[in-house]
Amino acid sequence: MQLYDAIFYRKSIKKYSTKRLSINMFEEVRNLCQDVDSLNKEIKIKAHPILKGDSLKFIIKKRHRLVAPHYIVLTVQLPEEEEEKETPIKYFDSVGFVGEELILKLTGMGLATSWVDENFNKESVLDFVHLDGNEKPVMLIALGFPEGKDLFRKENEIIDRKPMKKIAKNVDEKWTNIIECVRIAPSYKNLQPWIFYQNNKSLDIYMKKDSDENMNQLNMGIALKHFEIGCKYHNIDFKYIKLEVKDKLRKEYYISVV
């Protein structure tokens, strides 16, 4: 299954079978985790798969109530000079960008996944995975087989997402299929904070403001990964670039596509 197809078939799974991956399949997951590209090249994102995921159920806060046979720990490693700043570089979008590609690849393997937000005991994770000195855990991905056979979205299944007209303003037809990939992307609390505006020189992407900035950034990273996959599938050359663009009412300028 191509990543583009996985965008439309994949759904978040909250209930997992106790069945574990075979050693060979887990090794395939481990190999996928070693080949990740960050959105921001200054930020190093790593993915650490955990074989005995049931051990983590005691460090995930009770409100998650999500127990999977395996997990992937996503970590961030910032340049040393960034660690010393009062306001270090933002990195949750890079985490979302990396994690979502992994999730879509795992979907192609026939595996169930779910994002687990940052509210877990990060110190206790160190009992299960070896991290470098300035590497810190920030997010989890639950991984395994679904309870039952309901892994993929059904054909023509209604998806709880905003209509295109709510997230794309005056956009050329060539971008419609690409933005559709973003429209159905998962997001924390289903906030779907992305909105696209087109002008003569660029396609500008804005983020609706929210109190939980970290998770909103994660949402945007997921969206940019879906956008990238859509462009590659439809053979559209592009690059992300920061321009001198003003914020809009209750919307923060995020990035542009040229």
Predicted confidence at residue 155, as pLDDT, reads 79
Alpha helices in 133-247 (DSSP H): 164-167, 176-183, 213-233
Q: What residue has token string 């192609």?
A: 108
pLDDT computed for residue 197 by the predictor: 97
Q: Where are the beta strands (DSSP E) in 14-60?
A: 44-50
Q: Are 118 and 139 in contact (CB under 8 A)?
A: yes
Low-confidence residues of the chain: pLDDT under 70: 61-64, 81-88
SS3 at position 106 = helix
Q: Are strands 112-116 and 70-77 parallel, antiparallel or unpaired?
A: unpaired
Tokens for 131? Answer: 């991290």
DSSP 8-state code for residue 60: B
Chain centre distance of CA 164: 21
Q: Which amino acid is at 104?
A: L
CA distance 116 to 99: 11
Q: Per DSSP, what are the bridge partners of residue 112? A: 144
Please report the pLDDT score of residue 85 as a whole number.
Answer: 63
- CA-atom Rg of the chain in angstroms: 18
Please report the pLDDT score of residue 125 as a whole number. 85
pLDDT of residue 62: 60
